Structure 1
Amino acid sequence: MTAPSPSLWLRLKRLSLVTQIIIGLIAGIALALFAPEVAKSTSFIGKVFVSALKAVAPILVFVLVMASIANHKHGQETHIRPILFLYLLGTFAAAVVAVVASTLFPSSLVLATHDVAVTAPGGISEVLQSLLLSVVDNPVSALMNANFIGILAWAIGMGVAIRHAGDTTREVLGDLSNGVTLIVRLVIRFAPLGIFGLVASTLATSGFGALIGYVHLLAVLLGCMLFVALVMNPVIVFWKLRRNPYPLVLMCLRESGITAFFTRSSAANIPVNLELSKRLGLHEDTYSVSIPLGATINMAGAAITITVLTLAAVHTLGIAVDIPTAILLSIVAAICACGASGVAGGSLLLIPLACSLFGIPSEIAMQVVAVGFIIGVLQDSAETALNSSTDVLFTAAACLGEDEKAQRLA
């Protein structure tokens, strides 16, 4: 007697999140194409998903950043200072590349902006004034009103203060961070349904021209990541080693980037990077610290995602961006990227923080986050590949550079 075949629901549950998102995307396009009136009614599903993202994003930023700072080991940076410098330099440079690319190839999105007031800043002075007022906001008010700059400021302050607390307190904070991350994972599990509703209702209402905007946005994102991987990172490595960087760059992309592209997790790719570091003959006491740390703070791909999507919203709303504001955005995007969650799509949830620099309310920023999930099948894979391969690339560059410097001095 043959066993009964599993139901369609069970089969869908067994599929990976990427496959489920692709199915939701295709189903949404098909529904908008063949039954546009029905597709318009699915907007409620998309609204629920966006509302869930709005609910978890403020508490995620607050708890994740606070726990990361509070549990950072004292003295750890003294052992890997050159690597940390390369991590931060690479992340900031990636944000700058994203600003330039977004200026040269601006992206437009289909956003529901009715009944939402958008106050565009008049210039860098107004941005800085708004930034300072947001920093000193009441923490409860910041969480209630999704003031991400205030949330980030309080998270940093509390994290620094709790570093001096007992081990038990910091362990509890770490457990709280894990709990919030679990809730975020649960919300993201519903991304296929949310994307189905958003794509179906958007295409039925605005037409299939919206797909062109998604393709253009994805092309800008992937183009920035390729430029950073094949041009910007080699320039940084050449500056450190003073020799042809491409053999090392291509090895890291081949051995680490390809694996990370399919696992879509920098944390899951840590063993691959540790093994590659060992084969390269690097110092174990250095790479055993720098590789796991890089999986947390070396986020060039996340900086690109945050910057490009933020500037797509800015361009869509017709907000002017001057050079000082663009530089400030690059700094904020780099800081946001360093605090990005390790879950798939974690960098997308930090977009509202960058959007708040331009007076873009949370209601619109979360629509941009949802767009990120729509293109996230390729975006998140490419982002992870860039992040993870750069971890071992900069670790190798710093170690080899320091060894050569010691040999010259000897």
Structure 2
Amino acid sequence: MSKKSNVLAKIASGSLVLQILVGIVAGILLAVFSETTALQVAFLGSLFVGALKAIAPILVFVLVASSIANQKIGAQSNIRPIISLYLVGTFAAALTAVVMSFAFPTALTLVTEAQGTNPPQGIGEVLNTLLFKMVDNPVNALVTGNYIGILVWAAGLGFALHNASDSTKQVLHDVSHGVTFMVKFVIRLAPIGIFGLVANTIAQTGFEALAGYAQLLAVLLGSMLFIALVVNPLIVFLKIGRNPYPLVLTCLRESGVTAFFTRSSAANIPVNMALCERLELHEDTYSVSIPLGATINMGGAAITITVLTLAAAHTIGIQVDMLTALLLSIVASISACGASGVAGGSLLLIPLACSLFGISNDVAMQVVAVGFIIGVVQDSAETALNSSTDVIFTAAACEAADTNME
């Protein structure tokens, strides 16, 4: 019994990233050698993602309320500079996608149609959806994972309890730590969950369908890599004035890898909060900035919208000038910030961007269908970029604030 306990203790204290890599390799091998078995273990991935999605809304609500209620008067939360970094990063991503699309123009074979999709008809509809998300019933917000609504209600409760008795604040603080402990337990199961996700993905797709869209994927992934490894580090360097790569690579490794396989910014919120705690960031800051980033920090979505829209324009022979491309970048950035408020995410915002060029909705929805075909890679990379950037910008703002206070 003691030997088993020692083995479990070693596993629990071992490198989570290394264990995840083992899970990835094991999932690939299982899918290659036994497709049937790979499909049977898919439930492990579903259980892991389900657990993360279940705990994330409660974690956000309790942490935000506790942080605001227990915040000392005059304390810095650094939220404003983080929001600025989010917006700058998203716009830079859209501009990068424009440059990459001009450098490597891509033509699509539009032969399919997306079924059962209802894209928004304008930016006003996107923003309107977000506003109504803010006043959603708090219970419904928790059940549906509406993080805008969760943030609003948690902040309201936090401010209401700011002048409560110390014992009340301590109870809220203790509850937040209890939920955090549960999150840490779920995260330790990541290697098993990712093993199931990888095995299922490869067994079902085999990636054959992606071969016909190799250039489109190359432009998308190239843009995302450029943002992750060049633009984001440059923004961080300008913010903190030192080598940004240790921070950037840590976030990509410990947040991006998990987000790549869960393909859910919401599911990755607990992972990001645990990473922020390990980086010793201010809880008052990251408890708000991380769920907020999962909602509005959408550089990957801006890239997807821009690249696929310009691919549609190139396919039907529309010449796009730089001024129009700049306008597209602005529209893609604003739309990306509202992507989480629209069923279907960034892909369903492509028709909105296509309308800038007079591209018909029928053609635009065929482009959306192409997006779903390559989504097994595109959506994974997009989520990895979005989620890891949340921690990168939060850490940069916290470090800059600490430096200024010294």
Could you say if the C-alpha distance between residues 78 and 336 of structure 1 is closer, same or farther in structure 2, counting changes exceeding 3 Å?
Answer: farther
- Give the root-mean-square deviation of aligned CA atoms: 3.8
User: Map of 1:260-409 to 2, 5 A cutoff?
Assistant: 260-341=259-340, 346-407=345-406
Q: Using the alignment, how far apart are the partners of 2:241 and 2:142 within structure 1?
A: 45
SS, match of residue 341 in structure 1: helix
SS, match of residue 101 in structure 2: helix
Unaligned runs of 5+ residues in structure 1 are 1-7, 20-72, 114-144, 181-191, 201-209
Q: Does 1:148 align with 2:130?
A: no
Percent sequence identity over matched residues? 65
- Are the counterparts in 2 of residues 300 and 387 from structure 1 also a CA contact under 8 Å? yes
Could you say if the C-alpha distance between residues 174 and 311 of structure 1 is closer, same or farther in structure 2, counting changes exceeding 3 Å?
Answer: farther
Q: Using the alignment, how far apart are the partners of 2:400 and 2:374 within structure 1?
A: 38
Q: Using the alignment, how far apart are the partners of 1:405 and 1:179 within structure 2?
A: 36
Q: Which amino acid aligns with 1:265?
A: S
Q: Using the alignment, how far apart are the partners of 1:161 and 1:78 within structure 2?
A: 26
Q: Using the alignment, how far apart are the partners of 1:97 and 1:110 within structure 2?
A: 24
- Are the counterparts in 2 of residues 147 and 356 from structure 1 also a CA contact under 8 Å? no
- Are the counterparts in 1 of residues 126 and 342 from structure 2 also a CA contact under 8 Å? no
Could you say if the C-alpha distance between residues 320 and 87 of structure 1 is closer, same or farther in structure 2, counting changes exceeding 3 Å?
Answer: same
Q: Give the aligned partner of residue 222 of structure 2.
A: 223
Query: Alpha-carbon deviations, 1:254-290, whole Å to 9, x = none?
Result: 1111111111111111111111111111110100000
Q: Give the aligned partner of residue 137 of structure 1.
A: none
Query: Alpha-carbon deviations, 1:51-100, whole Å to 9, x = none?
Result: xxxxxxxxxxxxxxxxxxxxxx9xx9985000000011101100000000
Q: Which amino acid aligns with 2:217?
A: L
SS, match of residue 313 in structure 2: helix
Query: Alpha-carbon deviations, 1:10-61, whole Å to 9, x = none?
Result: x969847x99xxxxxxxxxxxxxxxxxxxxxxxxxxxxxxxxxxxxxxxxxx
Q: Using the alignment, how far apart are the partners of 1:160 and 1:344 within structure 2?
A: 15
Q: Give the aligned partner of residue 171 of structure 1.
A: 137
SS, match of residue 92 in structure 1: helix
Q: CA deviation at 1:156?
A: 2.9
Q: Using the alignment, how far apart are the partners of 2:381 and 2:319 within structure 1?
A: 29
- Are the counterparts in 2 of residues 264 and 344 from structure 1 also a CA contact under 8 Å? no
Query: Alpha-carbon deviations, 1:375-406, whole Å to 9, x = none?
Result: 11111111111111000000000110111112
User: Map of 1:34-49 to 2, 5 A cutoff?
Assistant: none
- Are the counterparts in 2 of residues 264 and 384 from structure 1 also a CA contact under 8 Å? yes
- Are the counterparts in 2 of residues 265 and 342 from structure 1 also a CA contact under 8 Å? no
Could you say if the C-alpha distance between residues 159 and 247 of structure 1 is closer, same or farther in structure 2, counting changes exceeding 3 Å?
Answer: closer
Q: Give the aligned partner of residue 235 of structure 2.
A: 236
Q: Which amino acid aligns with 1:271?
A: P
Q: Which amino acid aligns with 2:88?
A: L
Q: CA deviation at 1:112?
A: 5.0
Unaligned runs of 5+ residues in structure 2 are 1-34, 47-64, 69-75, 113-117, 147-200
Q: Which amino acid aligns with 1:402?
A: A
Q: Using the alignment, how far apart are the partners of 1:395 and 1:179 within structure 2?
A: 22
User: Map of 1:7-86 to 2, 5 A cutoff?
Assistant: 15=42, 80-86=79-85
SS, match of residue 282 in structure 1: coil
Q: Does 1:89 align with 2:88?
A: yes
- Are the counterparts in 1 of residues 276 and 395 from structure 2 also a CA contact under 8 Å? yes
Q: Which amino acid aligns with 1:148?
A: Q
Q: CA deviation at 1:346?
A: 2.1
Query: Alpha-carbon deviations, 1:321-347, whole Å to 9, x = none?
Result: 111111110011111111113899621
Q: Using the alignment, how far apart are the partners of 2:283 and 2:88 within structure 1?
A: 23
- Are the counterparts in 2 of residues 146 and 362 from structure 1 also a CA contact under 8 Å? no
Q: Using the alignment, how far apart are the partners of 1:353 and 1:78 within structure 2?
A: 35
Q: CA deviation at 1:173?
A: 11
Query: Alpha-carbon deviations, 1:289-348, whole Å to 9, x = none?
Result: 000111111111111111101100010011111111111100111111111138996211
Could you say if the C-alpha distance between residues 158 and 323 of structure 1 is closer, same or farther in structure 2, counting changes exceeding 3 Å?
Answer: same
| Stretch moving more, 333-342 or 93-102 | 333-342
Q: Using the alignment, how far apart are the partners of 2:41 and 2:253 within structure 1?
A: 29
- Are the counterparts in 2 of residues 277 and 396 from structure 1 also a CA contact under 8 Å? yes
Q: TM-score, normalised by structure 2?
A: 0.62
Q: Using the alignment, how far apart are the partners of 1:283 and 1:313 within structure 2?
A: 44
Equivalent pairs counted in the alignment come to 284
Q: Using the alignment, how far apart are the partners of 2:108 and 2:93 within structure 1?
A: 22
- Are the counterparts in 1 of residues 106 and 215 from structure 2 also a CA contact under 8 Å? yes
- Are the counterparts in 1 of residues 252 and 388 from structure 2 also a CA contact under 8 Å? yes
Q: Using the alignment, how far apart are the partners of 2:143 and 2:108 within structure 1?
A: 33
Q: TM-score, normalised by structure 1?
A: 0.61
